[in-house]
Structure 1
Amino acid sequence: MKMTRNIAGNGRTGTGHALRAILTAGAMGLLASCSTTDMMNQNVVSIDASQGSEQNISSLSQVIAANPNDPGAYNVRGAAYGRAGDDRRAMDDFNRALQLDPNYYQAYANRALIERSLGRQMEALNDYNRALQINPDYDIAYIGRGNLYREAGQQNDALSDYTRAINLNTTDPRAYHNRGLIYQQRGQQEQAIADFSSAISLAPKAPYPYNGRGVSYLALNDDQNAKADFTKALALDQQNAESWANMGLIFEREGDFQKAASYYQKAKALNPSYQPAIQGLQRVAGGAA
């Protein structure tokens, strides 16, 4: 089973992740140039920014010194190390937590995140499976496993896991957003829009669900709502190449090639290899002159 190396959310943000162009099933013509970003790697859940600080880790180490057989203390410090990007120490702490409590399902799911970031995708899958054996109602493990399945191209398995997490009333927006991406790829735009809207309600300051919903609106030829969503995505994050390229596509569809070119140029400046921006510039080159 082939899986790509990425770090899931739930307290970890992927570094240098590639923005992925999603060819929206059922869309025609220019819509193929619009794109949505995976939320698997985005830190959209509210997390204390100081969790991975040296001060916080030092405090947690003092707790462990006073309670050396407390698996919860190791699990929390492991999460802090993971937040700080220290995968080795994070792995050591999760391993210790599981030595002390082999049924600590949260530690299995946390260790899976580290294994995934280290490229050990099968080990991560095994840990998610173990977490779910211990607690079949653990929504975070379903989302994490679903992300692994989706990266491996196992869309049906991923959809099943995201749906299971949603049926468990998860408050993690990744379940809705990533299921929405699957619906979008399958041309089920109404279902995708509903899922992106749910993700937005859970993470209103994350730009990615707005981009996703905007692409689905475009697939339905609802340019007005698509433009509103891309505008919101840009307001939330002006360093996101896909937001600029998506807005460029809106102006291209409106026939304003000069304005479209300026948005594509901005997207290309942010990510010189971003194909939707490069292709957009090629399309509007004559009209923008």
Structure 2
Amino acid sequence: MNLRGALGIALLAASLSASVASAQMLMVNRFIRQCNDVDHSTPPQDAIYACTQLIRYNLAIGHALAVLYNSRALHHIDLHQDEEALSDFTRAIFYSPRYAQAYINRALLQMVHRRFPDAVADYGQVISIIPNNQIGYSARCWARALWGQELDLARADCETALRLSPHRLGALEGVGLINLREARYADAYAAYDEAVAANAGNARVRYGRGIAARRLGRAADASADFAAATEIDPQVPQTFAGYGITP
């Protein structure tokens, strides 16, 4: 349900007089447009204000209210107000406990702050809500791969994601990183090679394949991949250093 539809249903149930409802609707519609901000034309601070006003009107309940909090959280992220965003994602989940997107958004924010166990827990909720979708499995695999813990569980998640969606780039990248961490360099090369075939323009998978190639003694292949990866993204060596992996 989109934001406009959710609030429209709530407004139909509001006991307002005809004259008040008409004036209210004009203002509410403006706030809905600004809070939803589909075309990204509303400054984040104005969008936050619009979402807040809609919340204060008490016209939305349940999932509709959760959508408002989720939207406001995204605008907080635009302003680098991460703790406010985290609080709003949590409120969204409180009002709609099976709101998969809110769990995904909160997990992504936890990942930014390297709170990997919290992200793993949120992705577990996503899997319980949409068990036949690869998104939760692939994301939980990646969270554990970055964390460097529970790698057997991470591998199982990526394998499940690949069964549900073969050649999925995120899952292949996760398998590649897990194999690098476990010094399974031939397997890492194979996973990254498949990922490169899926998206040759991804710097991380090119660089990961290069590291695997170097570990296998294939210096020329490694150099070619490092050059290609850094041309795409000059910061990719720093990205891998953040994983604790260097050539």
TM-score (norm: length of structure 1)? 0.60
- Name the counterpart of 1:226: 188
Give the counterpart of 1:181 among 142, 154, 159.
Answer: 142
Matches within 5 A, 1:156-175: 156-169=117-130, 173-175=134-136
> Which structure dedicates a bigger proportion of its chain to helix?
2
Q: Counterparts of 1:224 and 1:256 in 2: how far apart (Å)? A: 11
Give the counterpart of 1:109 among 70, 94, 114.
Answer: 70
Equivalent AA in structure 1 for residue 70 of structure 2: A
What stretches of structure 1 of length at least 5 have no aligned partner?
1-66, 284-289
Larger of the two Rg values belongs to structure: 2
- Name the counterpart of 2:86: 125
Contact 2:34 2:46 in 1 (8 A): no
Shift of 1:270: 1.8
3-state SS of 1:80 partner: coil
Structure 1 residues 232 and 91, CA gap change in structure 2 (3 angstroms): farther
1:275 aligns with 2:237: yes
Matches within 5 A, 1:213-252: 213-252=175-214
- Name the counterpart of 1:287: none
Q: Counterparts of 1:85 and 1:209 in 2: how far apart (Å)? A: 35
Q: Counterparts of 1:215 and 1:123 in 2: how far apart (Å)? A: 32
Q: Counterparts of 1:266 and 1:128 in 2: how far apart (Å)? A: 38
Q: C-alpha root-mean-square deviation of aligned residues, in Å?
A: 3.6
What stretches of structure 2 of length at least 5 have no aligned partner?
1-24
Contact 1:78 1:91 in 2 (8 A): no
3-state SS of 2:137 partner: helix
Residues 146-165 of structure 1, C-alpha deviations (whole Å, 9 max, x = no match) = 23333333333322222222
1:262 aligns with 2:220: no
- Name the counterpart of 2:32: 74
1:140 aligns with 2:97: no
Q: Which is bigger in relative contact order (C-alpha 8 A, separation at least 6)?
A: 1
Contact 2:32 2:54 in 1 (8 A): yes
Deviating 4+ runs (over 6 angstroms):
276-279
1:98 aligns with 2:69: no
Shift of 1:261: 0.8
Contact 1:125 1:148 in 2 (8 A): yes
Identical-residue share of aligned pairs (%): 22
Structure 1 residues 171 and 119, CA gap change in structure 2 (3 angstroms): farther
TM-score (norm: length of structure 2)? 0.69
Q: Counterparts of 1:263 and 1:173 in 2: how far apart (Å)? A: 28
Contact 1:217 1:225 in 2 (8 A): yes
